[in-house]
Structure 1
Amino acid sequence: MSSSELTPEALRSRTRETGVPTLPADTTGTVVWHRDDLRLDDQAAVAAGAEADRLLPLFVFDPSFYGSDGLACDARLRFLHECLDDLDRRYRERTNAGLSYAVGEPIDLLERFRSAGWNLVATASPSGRYGHERDQRAYRELDATFVPGDGLVRDAERPRREWQDRTEAWFAADQYDWDPDSVRVVEFPTGLDSSDVERAYDVDPTKSRVPQGGGQQARARLRSFVDQIHEYPGAISSPVDAREGTSGLSPYLKFGCLSVRQVYQYVDAHAPDARGTEMFVSRLFWNRHYEQKLADWPGWTDRAVNPVLRGFNADRRDPELIAAWKRGRTGYPMVDASMRCLRETGWLNFRMRALCASCYFHVLQQPWRIGADWFYRHLIDAEASINYTQWQSQCGLVGRPTLRLYNPRKQVRDQDPEGEFIREWIPELAALPTEYLDRPEHTPLAVQAECGVRIGEEYPRPVVDYEAARQEFRERLEDVRARAADALARPAVADRASLSGGRSAARSIARNHGTETEQNESDDGTQARLDAFGESEFRPE
C-alpha cells in the first residue's frame, strides 16, 4: 500500500476485506486479544489460549486512541507500537507465526472471529471509562473470557478481606507458563503493521527523552535499576534525581512488557537486603493496591468517591486558569517547570505530580477531572487505576479528615534548592538569582534589571494569591467536611474508598469527624494494612 493510500479508512477497509482463518473440523481455536500485558511470559491469556489447537494472537488498533481528540498522546502511541513490534518478534522467535494486526472498532472485528467459531480470551485488567465499557460489551455480546492473572480479587463481596496475604502469595507463586510446541499459531493476514498505522494517523511524537518500548528494554532497565537500588531512597522526591535514580519501569508495567510479579521475583532474587529494596517492593504492593481500587469500583475515573464531594470546584471553572496551569504559566516556578516537563517529555515523578494536582485543585480551585484527564493524555505511563485514584486522593475527594496541600514555594526550597530543574524548564528564569526562584515576584526591581528578568512580562506573576486561595479552599472544604465524614459510615462508600483500616477506619472517621454516628454493622473482615508501606508514594518510579 503506497503512502498516498495510507488513510485510516483504507486500513479499516483492509481489515474488513481480510478473511478470518477457517478452523478445520474438530479443531479448537482461540484468539488471544492483546490490549496490554504485551508479553509472552507470565501471561495468563496466552497460557489459556495455548490450550486450544490453534492460537491467533491479535492486536486491534482502535481509532478512538488516535487523532487530535484521541485518548493518548503521540509519544505514548509510539511507545505502544514499539512494545507491539517487540511482542511480534517474540512470537516469531518462539512459534511459527507472529502477532496479527487489525484496525477498527474492536467489538465489530472480534464478532467476525466469534461467528467463525473462534473463542476469544484476554487478560482481565482494570481500565478507564472507555476500556471498561468495551470489555463489558465483549463479555455480554461475544462471550469473551477475561482471564484474571494479575493477583487482584474479583467477584468477592469483601475483596479486601485478607488482601495482603493473598497479594503476597500471588507475588511468590509460580508464573504462568505455556509450551509453544503444543499449539499451532496462525495469523490474520491483513499485511498491516504499526508503521502503517503511524503513517495513516499521522503519529508524529514531539516529546523528548521518551524511552524505547518493548520487553527487551524493560528487562535491561530492571537489571540496571537493581544494580543501583541502594540509591533509590534518596532519588524519589526531587525531579532532578528521580529521572535517573528511580526504576523507570512504570511505562513498561503499564503496557505489560513485564508483569509486576516478574519484577517482584527478579528483585527478590537479585537485589541486596537494603532499605532501597524494601522501599521499592512496597511500591509494587501499592501498584496492586490501586489496581484493586479500580477493579472494585470503576467510578474512580468519573466521579468523586465521596458523594458529598461530587462537583466540588465545578462552579469555579475558569478556562484561563486551567490554560495557565496546562501551559506552565501559573507564576509558581516549581509547578510551571513540572507542567512543562510533563508536556515535553511525558514524564513526571510522583511528588511533582502531587504538587501539580494540589496546585490545580486546592489553589486554582478547578474541577478535578479536567486536570486528571490532562495528565492521563500526556503521561507515557498513564495507568487509569493509578492516575485517577491518586488525583482523587490528592484532591481530598475521598473524605479523609487530613488534607495533603502542597506549598509550591516550599517545594522549590526542598526539591530544587539550586534551581537546576526550574532553570531547565523555565529558561526565562535562568538568570534569576537562586534565592528568588521560590518567589520570583518578590525579586527587587534592581535585581530584575541587573539580571534581565522582568517578572510580569517574560514570566508571569502568580495567577492567584497562594495564601488567600489556600485559606479560601480550607474554609469551603470545612463547610462540607463533616457531611463527607458521615458518608464514609455507609458501607458502599467505605468499600469504594478502600481505606487501609477498612470499614472500621471509615466509621471511625465518621464518628470522630462527622455530624452523627452511624454504626450499621460490625467490621467482619480485615483490610490490608498498607499504611506500613507509606502512603506518601504510590508507584514504582
Structure 2
Amino acid sequence: MQYSHSNRGIDVVWFKRDLRIRDHTPLANALSRGRQVLLLHIYEPTDLAHLTTSNRHLTFRWQAWTALCKEVRALNWPVQTAVLHAPALDVLKYLHEVSGIRALYSYQETGLAHTFIRDQAITRWVRINEIPWHEQRQQAIYRGLKHRKKWANDWHNTMRGGLTRASPGPNLERFEVPEWPPGWACVETPHVTHCNDPGGCGPFQKGGEREARRYLQTFFEGRVKGYRRQIGRPLESRKSCSRLSPYLAWGCLSMRQVYQTFQNADVPRAKMDLKAFGSRLRWQGHFIQKFESECRIEFESVNRGYADFPYHGTPESLAAWKEGKTGIPLVDACMRCVINTGYLNFRMRAMLVSFLTHHLDHPWQAGVEHLARCFLDFEPGIHFSQFQMQAGVTGINTIRIYNPVKQSMERDSEGLFIREWVPELAKMPIEYLHSPWTQPPMERLWSGLDLTYADPIVSVESAGRAAREKLWKFKKTNAVREEATRILRIHVAPSSLD
C-alpha cells in the first residue's frame, strides 16, 4: 500500500556524516514541520566492504550515534531513532511500504563514488514516489561547481550565519517504529567485511557531540598556546593541535560552530597561534569543494597530464611502508603511530605520502586506501586532494619532497617520538637514532642494542634526488601545463590568478 506524503506518513531525517543535533538544519526543519519523525542512521553493506572503511570509523560512528540518541531521550523529544545494517534504498522502500514516507531530510554528503551512485538511485526513487527530499548543502559546498568566482564569499557568509537550533514543533507526536526485517536492526557496532582493517591498539578519540565540545573547549581555553610552533612536531602536536578533525569529518561538529568559536576566542598570549589556526579553516572547505567539483579524482590524478607518469615501486617496498618497516625511523614511527591511534599531524602525513610516492616510487593510488583506513578523521574531500598534492601530481603546487632524516632531526630532535613507536631503537644513541645505518657495524654489534630493526630499504638521498629530477622534468611537459591552466580556472578564485 502506498501512502500520500500530503496527509500521512513519517518524516525521516537521514544522518550520514552529520552525527549531531546542534546546528543541524535538516533535523531542525523536520522537527518544526513534521508530525511523526524518525531519526535514521544506516551502516550500508557497500560501505562496510569498501577499502577506505575501517573498524575505527564504524566504532566512532557508533559512539556518536549512541550519544546522539541518549541526548534525544534526555531532551524528551517525541521522536523515534533507528540504526540499521542494510542498503539505504531498501530501508526507504520498506519504510514507505509499511509506514509511508511524507518527506526525507538530510545533508548532501561529500562521499565516495558508491555513495553518490546510491544518492542518484534514491533521487530517482523519491521522484517516482513523489516524496520530497530536502537535501541541505554543507558549508557552501556545491556539487559540480565549475568556478570559484564567489565561493570564498559564500563560505564566509555561511560561517557567519546563525547556528540552527532544533526544537520539536507543536504537531510532533510519538508513534510506533516498524518492525524491521531480520538482520537489519543493529545491536552492536558492525565490522568491515574486507580483510584489510589496520587494527590498532588505541586509544582512539571517542565519537559524539559531548566529546567534540570538550576538545573544542580545551583547545580554546589553553591548548592553542604553542599551536603555531608545535603543529609540525609529531609528539607535541598531539596536544597542541585542536584534534577536532574526526568530529568535523563525521559531523559531530559543524565547521560553522568551530569558526564562530574561533572568532569569539580571546586567549591571552596566543594571538599568533589563533591566527595560524584560523588561516587553516577555509582550506578544509576548499579541498572538499575541489573534490565535489571533480569527483573523478577519487580514482585518477586531477591533472590528467600525469596519467602516464612512470613509477617503478615494488610490492615489497609498498608492504614495508604499510607495516612501518622501511628502516627509516621517523617514517616507521609515523606509520605505527597512525595505525595504532588513528592520528598523525599534517606534516608527518605529508611526509608519509611523499616517501611513498617519491622515495619508493609508487603511484598515490597504491597507498590512498591504506591511510584512509588508518586516519580516524578520513574525509574523502580532503584525503584524495591532499594525497595528490603531496605526491606532486597536480601541476599547480610546489613540489615538496620531504627528507625524512632531516624532518626527524628538526621535528623530533630528542627522538622521543621515535623511541615510543620504534622500541627496537629505544636504546640507540641519539647521534645515530635518526639514521641508524650510520652507526659503525662493529659498534652496533658490541653495544648490546636490539639488532632486529631493519636496514633502510632505500637510500633517502639518491631516491630523493632521482624523484626530484623526474618530477620537475614531467611538470614541464605540455600535457601537464595545459591541465594546470584548466585546474587553475576551476579551482582558484579569479583574483588569485591576476
Establish whether residue 290 from structure 1 lines up as the match of residue 265 from structure 2.
Answer: no
After the TM superposition, which of the residue ranges 113-122 and 462-471 deviates more from structure 2? 113-122
Task: State the shift of 1:133 in Å.
Answer: 2.1
What's the counterpart of residue 237 of structure 1?
A: 232
Whole-angstrom distance in 1 between the partners of 2:447 and 2:59: 41
Match of 2:169, SS?
helix
Aligned pair count reads 480
Task: State the shift of 1:419 in Å.
Answer: 0.6
What's the counterpart of residue 262 of structure 2?
A: 267
Task: State the shift of 1:304 in Å.
Answer: 0.1
Root-mean-square deviation over aligned CA pairs: 2.8
Structure 1 length normalisation: TM-score? 0.82
**Contact persistence 2:105–2:135 (CA under 8 A):** yes
After the TM superposition, which of the residue ranges 261-270 and 320-329 deviates more from structure 2? 261-270
**Contact persistence 1:79–1:212 (CA under 8 A):** yes
Query: Which of residues 220, 223, 227 in structure 1 aligns to 2:221?
Result: 227
Aligned pairs for 1:488-503 within 5 A: 488=483, 490-491=485-486, 493-496=487-490, 498-499=491-492, 502=493
What's the counterpart of residue 101 of structure 1?
A: 83
Structure 2 length normalisation: TM-score? 0.88
Q: Deviations over 1:432-463 (max 9, x none)?
A: 10111221111012331243236xx5111211
What's the counterpart of residue 184 of structure 1?
A: 173
5+ residue gaps, structure 1, are 1-19, 503-524, 530-541
Whole-angstrom distance in 1 between the partners of 2:347 and 2:317: 22
Whole-angstrom distance in 2 between the partners of 1:401 and 1:170: 28
What's the counterpart of residue 7 of structure 1?
A: none
Query: Which of residues 258, 277, 293 in structure 1 aligns to 2:274?
Result: 277
- Residues 64 and 207 of structure 1: CA distance in aligned 2, closer, same or farther (over 3 Å): farther
Task: State the shift of 1:178 in Å.
Answer: 3.3
Question: Residue type of the partner of 2:288?
Answer: E
**Contact persistence 2:395–2:480 (CA under 8 A):** yes
Question: Residue type of the partner of 2:211?
Answer: Q
Task: State the shift of 1:165 in Å.
Answer: 2.0
Task: State the shift of 1:245 in Å.
Answer: 1.3
Aligned pairs for 1:57-456 within 5 A: 57-66=39-48, 71-94=52-75, 95-114=77-96, 116-143=100-127, 145=133, 147-154=135-142, 158-182=146-170, 183-184=172-173, 186=175, 188-190=177-179, 194-198=186-190, 206-228=200-222, 229-272=224-267, 274-313=271-310, 315-400=311-396, 402-453=398-449
Task: State the shift of 1:111 in Å.
Answer: 2.5
Establish whether residue 33 from structure 1 lines up as the match of residue 14 from structure 2.
Answer: yes
Whole-angstrom distance in 2 between the partners of 1:528 and 1:213: 41
Task: State the shift of 1:431 in Å.
Answer: 1.1
Identity of aligned residues (%): 29
Task: State the shift of 1:393 in Å.
Answer: 0.6
Question: Residue type of the partner of 1:467?
Answer: E
**Contact persistence 2:198–2:374 (CA under 8 A):** no
Question: Residue type of the partner of 1:215?
Answer: E
- Residues 495 and 199 of structure 1: CA distance in aligned 2, closer, same or farther (over 3 Å): closer
Whole-angstrom distance in 2 between the partners of 1:475 and 1:344: 35
Question: Residue type of the partner of 1:107?
Answer: L
Task: State the shift of 1:30 in Å.
Answer: 2.1
Whole-angstrom distance in 2 between the partners of 1:125 and 1:450: 58
Question: Residue type of the partner of 1:299?
Answer: R
Establish whether residue 459 from structure 1 lines up as the match of residue 447 from structure 2.
Answer: no
- Residues 164 and 361 of structure 1: CA distance in aligned 2, closer, same or farther (over 3 Å): same
- Residues 58 and 157 of structure 1: CA distance in aligned 2, closer, same or farther (over 3 Å): closer
Whole-angstrom distance in 2 between the partners of 1:39 and 1:21: 31
Task: State the shift of 1:23 in Å.
Answer: 8.0
Task: State the shift of 1:52 in Å.
Answer: 2.8
- Residues 301 and 196 of structure 1: CA distance in aligned 2, closer, same or farther (over 3 Å): same
After the TM superposition, which of the residue ranges 165-174 and 127-136 deviates more from structure 2? 127-136
**Contact persistence 2:354–2:402 (CA under 8 A):** yes
Task: State the shift of 1:57 in Å.
Answer: 1.1
